[in-house]
Amino acid sequence: MPLLHIAILSLVQGITEFLPISSSGHLVLVPFVAHWKDQGLIVDVAVHVGTLGAVMLYLWRDIWFMIKGALEMIANRTVTPGGRLAMLVIAATIPVVIFGFAMNHYYKDGLRSVTVIGWTTLVYGVILYIADKVGLTMRRMEHLRFADAITIGLAQVLALIPGTSRSGITMTAARMLGMERTESARFSMILSVPTIIGAGLLKGLDLYHSGNAALDATVAIAVGLSFVSALVVIVLLMSWLKRATFTPFVIYRIALGGFLLAWAYGFIAPF
């Protein structure tokens, strides 16, 4: 694959992974619009490794907080705030693990069409706007109950459909539950760690069985670019949400979704 293609796909993944606009939808659309060949499993795995590294670096305090809490539960059977947060993350992750494994086993190609991505981009953008406007801004992560975590986890399952946006749908659910904007984004990013690890392992196994798991400059470039771009976007997103709303992302989603539907239904000429 040409270096330019690798660079663009890596930047698209890094930029869109943690914004509420759907990284999977954009990764499907880029080669489709540009008439490129599918990027293949090795690039998919590499860009996921890059974004995973970025979010783990940014959230290292939260991750260490949960690890210490989990170890405390194992050693002393004492539930600390860190251990409780770890259990909330596990509870919220179980639904997507179950449904993700089933989809990977029975329906590997997923719903990768312009029509589906157009509708999910548009509809879930509108739902994000409603949730952001009607949701209170008074709850933090320490206020989450297990029922809340499971609710957010069930919402995350919808992100298995391209265009929905894993970060967008989890932030939407969190805002509906009254979480502050920065806290909803933070919990969404924490949830991304096991989710990205799980998706990466599934893709990695597929790559291993395909016999095309060679590491080369392509992988290094993809990992590096997705890591740097994701880290920059995370910092900017959290800074933005401290003083503003999700409305710019909603506008982008509505515009993109409307354009894709016009394209899919033949109102504008295909590329």
What pLDDT digit, counting tens, does each position of 81-121 carry? 999 999 999 999 999 989 988 876 676 655 678 899 999 99
Distance CA 14, CA 31 (A): 16
* HEC string for 81-141: HHHHHHHHHHHHHHHHHHHHHHHHHHCCCCCCCHHHHHHHHHHHHHHHHHHHHHCCCCECH
Residue 138, pLDDT score: 87
Has residue 49 been placed in a domain? yes
Distance CA 138, CA 229 (A): 31
Query: How many CA atoms within 13 Å lie on the side-chain side of 111?
Result: 13
Q: How far is the CA of 75 from the CAs of 63, 72, 79, in angstroms?
A: 18, 5, 11
Distance CA 52, CA 194 (A): 9
Has residue 239 been placed in a domain? yes
Residue 46, pLDDT score: 80
Has residue 235 been placed in a domain? yes
pLDDT digits (tens, 9 = 90+) for 185-196: 999 999 999 988
Has residue 270 been placed in a domain? no
User: With the C-alpha atoms ordered 240, 165, 35, 217, is the resulting torsion angle positive or negative?
Assistant: positive
Number of domains in the chain: 1
Has residue 269 been placed in a domain? no
Distance CA 213, CA 195 (A): 22
Has residue 271 been placed in a domain? no
Has residue 143 been placed in a domain? yes
**Run means of pLDDT, 10 residues per run, the chain, 271 residues:** 82 93 82 72 78 96 96 91 96 92 70 87 97 92 96 95 93 97 97 88 69 66 93 97 96 94 84 59
Distance CA 112, CA 40 (A): 14
Has residue 234 been placed in a domain? yes
**Tokens 């909603």, residue?**
250
* Residue in 17, 66, 2, 45 with CA at minimum distance from that of residue 192: 17
* Residue in 266, 212, 251, 249 with CA at minimum distance from that of residue 39: 212
Rg (CA), the chain: 18
Q: Which residues contact 256 (CB under 8 A, 6 or more apart)?
A: 21, 121, 122
Residue 191, pLDDT score: 96
Domain extent, residue 134, equals 3-264
Distance CA 103, CA 203 (A): 13
**Tokens 């986890």, residue?**
153
